Amino acid sequence: MNAMKILLLALLALSITSTAAFAADTGNQSVVKVGIYVLNVGKFDVSSGSYTVDFYLNMRCDSECKPDNFEFMNGRASSVEKLIDEPNQKFYRIQASLSENIDLRSYPFDEHNLPIVIEDKRNTKDKLVYVLDEENSGIDPAVTLVGWDLTGWNGKAEDHVYVPYKETYSRFTYNIGIKRIFLASILKTFLPVIFIVIVGLLALLIEERGSIWTRIGINTSALIAAVMFHLNVTSSIPPVGYLTFADKFMMVTYVSLVLGLLSSILMMMHAKAGDETLEKKIYRWSLYGIPLFTVLGYILLFLIQ
């Protein structure tokens, strides 16, 4: 009976010790509420994925903590001004030069997130954890980015593991959502190409044998104009290992214009050979088939976008 009491007392002591240790460990972990309020976004360079952000950074805890030992994981701060320095709150005005790997598959209808990524320099997750302070976060209504529409913001904290060092840090990410202005994308990218294609298709109306060279000249000029315009459009973005939407659009354009040029050459060849029947068949096929292919190609491209 005495042995049973001793065993129960030992188990009770072990439970109390474990609870105290867990409480001590929990007490050592600082929970930092992070709020970011964006004042300005500028100099967004698509070719390099770099941008600058001017913002307020509010870091506060429920008890005394030291959250001011942070760094930006996707860039560097060009200026940091501490406005509030209290035991449980640090408030900064920061201007930072940041960068992000952007996805241009939907160019020129692309949308991007411009992140501000923060992580503590020394404290691992068991000592410091970030959480979003939604109440003190947002984007100032006066913020504009030339050529882009702001789509909002979001923030989250997640674990980041450094495998070689077997350490886990809390990482906070604040995203500024942007997208290209739709009307500007249409007017600057697609409207000129549409006019080039229309000129190329109008050449299909030329049927007279004596005007075949005129038809070939129009087709060739339209094709060269499309190539030059494509080079001009893609010069503003970096070389990428995939096709953008603009590239796919131009590929449909190239096929349409090449088919028009090929039909003109075939008509000329059969005209010289005296095969008037086959010449007229090629003319009718090109007159109806090429415009139909062009329209369906563009429609399908926009549907699968």
Write down the residue that tokens 């994308």 correspond to: 185
The pLDDT of residue 277: 84
Residue 13 belongs to a domain: no
Predicted pLDDT at 298: 94
* Of 180, 206, 236, the domain-final residue: 180
Cα 298 to Cα 275: distance, rounded to the nearest angstrom = 34
pLDDT at 3: 52
Does residue 90 lie in a domain region? Answer: yes
Predicted local distance difference test score (pLDDT) of residue 13:
47
When divided into structural domains, the chain yields a total of 2
Domain final position from 150, 180, 210: 180
In a domain, 112, yes or no: yes
Distance CA(5)–CA(21), nearest Å, equals 24
98, two tokens? 């940041």
pLDDT for the residue numbered 21: 39
Residue 15 inside a domain? The answer is no
Domain end marker among 180, 199, 219 = 180
Residues 6+ apart with CB under 8 A from 51: 41, 42, 43, 44, 45, 97, 98, 99, 100, 114
The boundaries of the domain holding residue 216 are 184-303
Query: Which stretches of the chain score pLDDT less than 70?
Result: 1-27
* Cα gap 60→65, rounded to integer Å: 8
Considering the domain architecture, whether residues 117 and 247 belong to the same structural domain is answered as: no
Do 173 and 238 reside in the same domain of the chain?
A: no
Residues 39 and 162 in one domain: yes
Give the model confidence (pLDDT) of 142-174 as tens digits: 999 988 999 999 999 999 999 999 999 999 999
pLDDT at 2: 52
- Per residue in 237-289, pLDDT (tens digit) is 888 889 999 999 999 999 999 999 999 999 888 888 888 888 889 889 999 99
- CATH number of residue 82's parent domain: 2.70.170.10
Please state whether the predicted TM-score (pTM) of the whole model is above 0.85.
Answer: no
